[in-house]
Each structure stands twice: as C-alpha cells, then as structure tokens.
Amino acid sequence: MTRATKTIQELADFLGCKLEGDGAALVSGVASPAAARAEDLIYVESPRHLEQAAASAASCAVIPPGLSLPGKILLRAANPKLAFARAAEWLVPASPIAQGIHPTALIASSAKLGPGVAVGPYAVIEEDVQIGAGCEVGAFCFLGRGARLGERCRLYPRVTLYAGARLANRVILHSGVVIGSDGFGYVSEAGKRRKFPQVGEVTIQDDVEIGANTTIDRGSLDRTDIGAGVKLDNLVHVAHNVSIGENTVIAAQTGISGSSSVGKNVVIGGQVGIADHCEIEDGAIVGAQAGIPTGKTVRSGQMVWGTPARPLEKFKKQFAWFSRLPELAERVKALESRILLKAE
C-alpha cells in the first residue's frame, strides 16, 4: 500500500485544523488506536475513546474541541471522523488497479481511450467504447460495445459493462459488478413466459461507488439511473427502470424491484426487499430486513421497519406485543378454563 509522508503542519493546513503541538513531526498513515504506529494518525470522537487513544503508540490524533489528550499532538476538528477520512485519502491513496496497457488486453480499433488510461491483463474492450482520461480498468474486465466511461473511473478486476452502459466521472466499481444486464421481465403466452424487451439504458452518475457482486439491470424500455454520490454495498440488486437519487446509501443484500423510485439522501439497511413500483421519498430511512410491498410509498423523512414496513414507533409497539404472545396465550387459556368451570 502506497503511503505519503507529511509533516503534521502540512496535514493541519490540508485539513484546515488547528494544530496543538509539534508541527514538524511526521505522519505517514492512518490506523485504529490499538494498531497504530508512532507515525500513524488516529481520531477521537467522544470522551469514551480517550483512554484507548491515550494508550496508543500514535503521536497525533484528530480530536473535537473541548477534549484533552496529554502527550499527543492534536488536530482540532469539529467533525474528527470526516477530517480523519480526508487525511486517509491524502496519506494513503488507493493502490493502482492497472498501469499502462497490458499486452494481453483486447482493445477494439474503434475504441477511444483518453490520456492516462490504464488497462489490466486480459481485459476486453469492444467496438466504439469510450474511456475518459485517467480511468483504470482491471484485469479480466469486459466493456461491451458502445459503453461510455467519464474521467478517473476505477473498475476493479472482473467488472462487466454490457453494451451501451454509461458511467460518468469518478465512478468506482468493485470486483464482480455487472452493469446493464437484462431486467427480469416476461409476458405470459399459452402458459409459457415470453421475454419482454430489455432494450433501455443504464446510467451511473458522478462519484458513485458500487460494491462487489452488485448487479444493476438496464431499463426495459426506459432507463435505470443511479444518481450522483450514491453508495451501494456488496450484493445489492437494482432492477430495470429503477431510479436512485443523489447521495443515497444502500447496505448489502438489498433488492429493489422494477420501476421503483428511491429519492435523495435515503438510507436503506441490509437485506431490505423493495417490491415493484414503490416510492421511497427523499430522506427516508428503511431499517434492515424491512419489506416494502408493491406500490407502497415511504414518505420523506419517515423511518420504517418490519415486514410489511411501517413507521418505527408503530413497529416497536407491535413487536412488544408480539414478544408477549406466549404470556398472553397462557392468560387466555386460564380465562377459558375459568369460564368452562363456571359453565359446568
């Protein structure tokens, strides 16, 4: 892993943090307090983290105003976790996925590669593909006919882009991602299933990151669209004609069925199932393993849980009663016995 060595003063200037201590000391990485070396940066978010940070070998910590950490060089930040993340990007840049054009890569003569594009071993780039400046295409990737990549995209090994897939700038696709596969659409005919056309588009906007083995289907007749800044975890499935708004985050093993709409700044937990033609409005939160029935709308800012999904407060009340069912059943049996005795 590549590391950059900087003075703590340089780091403070980069982050815009107030420095307390020796600015000439060196920092070259980031780590948890338990694993840190002297030149690693750590961060403290709350008083409960102070003891572990004080015992760390790290000489420098990012810390919020109002907390003290004797013996450490301090960088004061209102949001230490954010400052730490920015420092990590600067001090420990991502390792290259590919460098140069590997001789085993198969690149069509009509493909257009921008300046600084790197292509790894055995990658296949078909006709009329366009790849923007500074992109990295890992080993065994497949870019189908007419696919488009903006600038500085990173495709880890074994990513597949079907024909015509569109990626904007700075998109990160982890291993096993498939973009533009056919949606799951069929029409009944005499007891059999005939495939409905899956000829639409799929577009991925700026600064999207998509986890390993996630699949995004192309539109049926329209378009599947992933908005800018969206972050999808591993093993997420996005079906045809789905739209996901800017800066939404979706955890692992979630499935979104066809023609559903997810708004901006939505948070969706792991293993959520969203049926077809649902609408999750801006800022909603969907708890892990929730089930959203066909056509349901989750309103803006609402937090829902359970299957079928319902407002969190209602879910908590219902779940509390559900957990008491064995006790209630015993009470009902006792009451029934008393009624029968009286009847006799």
Catalytic pick from 49, 174, 237, 240?
A: 240
Strands 192-195 and 172-173: unpaired
Instruction: Name the DSSP letter for residue 96.
Output: P
Contact 151, 167 (CB under 8 A): no
Contact 278, 261 (CB under 8 A): yes
Find all residues with CB under 8 Å of 313, minimum gap 6, and list them.
Answer: none
Crossing angle for the helix pair 312-323 and 325-343, nearest 10 degrees? 50
DSSP of 266-306, one letter per residue? -EE-TT-EE-TT-EE-TT-EE-TT-EE-TT-EEPTT-EEET
Question: Distance between CA atoms of 19 and 11, rounded to whole angstroms?
Answer: 9
Nearest to 118 by CA among 168, 158, 153, 167: 153
Question: Distance between CA atoms of 265 and 241, rounded to whole angstroms?
Answer: 19
Query: Does the annotation mark 240 as catalytic?
Result: yes
Q: Which residues are catalytic?
A: 240
